[in-house]
Amino acid sequence: MSAFIERLRKRRLSMTFAALAAVSAIVLMASYAAHGVHGQSKQNDSADATPLKVPDTTVAPNNFVKIAKEVGPAVVNIDTRTLPKQARAGRRGMPGNPHGQMNPANPDDGDQGDGGDGQGPDQNFQDFFNRFFGGQAPGGPGGQGDQAQERDALGSGFIVDPKGYIVTNNHVVDGADEIYVKLSTDPDTTDPGRKARVIGVDKATDLAVIKIDTDKPLPTVKLGNSDNAAVGEWVIAIGSPFALSKTVTAGIISAKNRTIEPGASGQFQHFIQTDAAINPGNSGGPLVNMNGEVIGVNTAIFTQSSGYQGIGFAMPSNTVAQVYNDLISPSHKVVRGSIGISFREGLSSAVGRVYGFSHGVLVQEVRPGGPADKAGIKPRDIIVSIDGREVKNGDDLVADIAGRRPGTTVRLGYVRDGKQMTATVVVGDRDKIFADQLGENDQAPNDNGVSSEAKLGVAVREVSPQMADKMGTGGMLIVSVKPGSFAEQQGLAPGLAITRINKQPVATRSQFDSVVAGLHSGQDVVFEVMDPKHPEDGINVLGGTLP
């Protein structure tokens, strides 16, 4: 009996274990079915999901949208190409200049008259100051980069005349051998665009006018009055930052009449400051107000990263209009008035107290033979009025005189040794008065049938008497050198003075023309040149065989 009971107990235990195993298997299978192996979810079943639908609604366009559509078609993309200039190596070896940099005359260096202080831009500021043109240094495409490589760079511009006249920055096209323009309607291909030519440039304001040919009228911008622009008002910048064409950004006018380069370099550059995002490639593009009018040309940024940091500068449209009208004139040149003086800005109040003036301009230098010199103005005179109007400071004086045409007269009130005096001054041409310092050609070369530019690739003019005295000899100042020409291959550069060719003096135009006329292909040609800014370096001899 006891054996029977023991067998029954074991059977019940076996049945219990079997039942428990079955239950466990069922639970495990259910778990697998619910959660999948290793905790994964079951196969996705989205039958109960509702598809998304794009609503047929629109946002009412704001003024930014309207302005972008109106102005955008007249904004262009500018592509420039600078060809290799292997001959730059020929510049090396000037006496006293082991690095081969010849320091040619630069209109941004030294006193430029009617406000020049003889000092260059603040180098600390320059470290952070970057032109938009590809983020490169000032001075045109490539700055001081490798001249032995072909370089492409991008900028912006805008059409102001349906015949194809375009406003941009000088540093966008300066030094470029080829300039191409793409309209907003042109295909977005690798084709560089339409060939453009330079009509005129003005380095003092960093503005340029270029032109493309067209068989139909092109869209244009509306010009606004920058004098009426107010700090705090909305503005839009349009251009091609980082080659991203048709880019529109918005901000406000942060400040007006901002000068970012001290001394003579900034005499004619009084910018609109904005926080609209502008970056490399925006150069030459328009700054537009909420009326859809262009009130500035985006020109420069203040940055520590070569990119946007909230401070940009645009040349005011009122200045642009004045410069443009001069550049499209027959002379293709901006003519500014001058009375032939230099002065220093930012004098301390102590100077005013000692010299006895609270406003006006203390004359530092009078150009010999210039208008002020002829009228009896002397150093240490204090100019206090123009035609009876009080002169506030140097900027006020420069703006007034520069806007007057050469040949007109102006009545100056000035103080000398505490006495009030007046003088009538005939306004002169600034470029002619300061030609030796600006390094610009004040008149078209008269080659008497012999083109030195065609034969040698160089345009010249006689050095001024002051420059000749400094050099100790006469000569021909190089105004421009044609890229790839014989002159450039020998290392000639603007700002240098040619004193002899093949040992023959060329101190006058007639001497120069006579020598050049006698040169022929295959002849050895040797130039004796000097750097007028550093005559102590002496004569350098450069030469080669004329092709």
State the DSSP string of 227-262: GG--TT-EEEEEE-GGG-TTEEEEEEEEEEEE--S-
Instruction: Count other C-beta atoms under 10 Å from residue 332's C-beta.
Output: 13
Please tell me whether residue 22 adopts helix, strand or coil conformation.
helix
Q: Which residues pair with 216 in a beta bridge?
A: none
List all residues 6 or more positions away from 517 whose beta carbon is below 8 Å from its beta carbon.
Answer: 449, 450
- Catalytic entry in 283, 342, 452, 485: 283
- % the chain with pLDDT above 90: 38
Whose structure tokens read 């609503």? Answer: 55
Residue type, 262: P
pTM given for the model: 0.63
Residue 131 has a pLDDT of 43
Question: Tokens representing 36?
Answer: 């999948």
CATH number at residue 540: 2.30.42.10
- Catalytic entry in 206, 381, 395, 531: 206
Pick 273 or 244 by higher pLDDT. Answer: 273
Q: For residues 351 and 327, state if they share a domain.
A: no
Specify whether 534 is catalytic.
no
Q: For residues 318 and 455, state if they share a domain.
A: no
Q: For residues 254 and 138, state if they share a domain.
A: yes
Convert the pLDDT of each residue in 168-215 to its tens digit. Answer: 999 999 888 889 999 988 887 777 789 999 999 998 899 999 999 999
Q: For residues 149 and 160, state if they share a domain.
A: yes
Q: For residues 281 and 348, state if they share a domain.
A: no
Q: Where are the beta strands (DSSP E) in 28-146?
A: 75-82, 129-131
Q: Residue range 508-526: average pLDDT?
A: 88
109 located within any domain: no
Q: What whole-number distance in Å separates Cα of residue 432 and Cα of residue 125?
A: 31
Residue 264 has a pLDDT of 63
Q: Is 99 exposed, middle or buried (0-12, 13-18, 19+ CB in 10 A)?
A: exposed
Q: Taking 90 as the threshold, does the pLDDT of residue 262 lie above it? A: no
Residue 10 has a pLDDT of 65
- Choose the final residue of a domain: 433, 452, 472: 433
502 located within any domain: yes
Q: For residues 325 and 467, state if they share a domain.
A: no
100 located within any domain: no
46 located within any domain: no
Kindly indicate the confidence band of residue 26, based on its pLDDT and cuts at 50, 70 and 90: low
Q: What whole-number distance in Å separates Cα of residue 320 and Cα of residue 202?
A: 10
Q: Give the DSSP letter of residue 518.
A: T
Q: Which residues pair with 180 in a beta bridge?
A: 79, 195
Convert the pLDDT of each residue in 371-423 to its tens digit. Answer: 999 999 999 899 999 999 999 888 889 889 998 989 999 999 999 988 999 99
Specify whether 283 is catalytic.
yes
With b meaning 16 or more CB within 10 Å and e meaning fewer, what string describes 491-513? bbbbbbbbbbbeeeebbebebbb
Q: For residues 267 and 156, state if they share a domain.
A: yes
Please tell me whether residue 410 adopts helix, strand or coil conformation.
strand
N- to C-terminal Cα distance for the chain?
A: 135
Q: Taking 70 as the threshold, does the pLDDT of residue 318 lie above it? A: yes
List all residues 6 or more positions away from 430 whose beta carbon is below 8 Å from its beta carbon.
Answer: 113, 114, 335, 336, 337, 338, 402
44 located within any domain: no
Specify whether 171 is catalytic.
yes
324 located within any domain: yes
Cα distances (angstroms) measured from residue 39 to each of 35, 86, 431, 435, 468: 5, 71, 86, 87, 94
- Choose the final residue of a domain: 403, 433, 463: 433
Give the pairing of strands 222-223 and 293-302.
parallel
Q: How many domains does the chain have?
A: 4
Convert the pLDDT of each residue in 65-107 to its tens digit. Answer: 999 999 999 999 999 887 765 433 333 333 223 223 333 222 2
Residue 434 has a pLDDT of 77
- Catalytic entry in 117, 171, 431, 513: 171
Residue 450 has a pLDDT of 40
Convert the pLDDT of each residue in 427-465 to its tens digit. Answer: 999 888 876 555 444 333 333 334 566 789 888 888 888
- Choose the final residue of a domain: 398, 433, 468: 433
Domain span at 316: 63-83+120-334
Q: For residues 208 and 313, state if they share a domain.
A: yes
CATH number at residue 168: 2.40.10.120
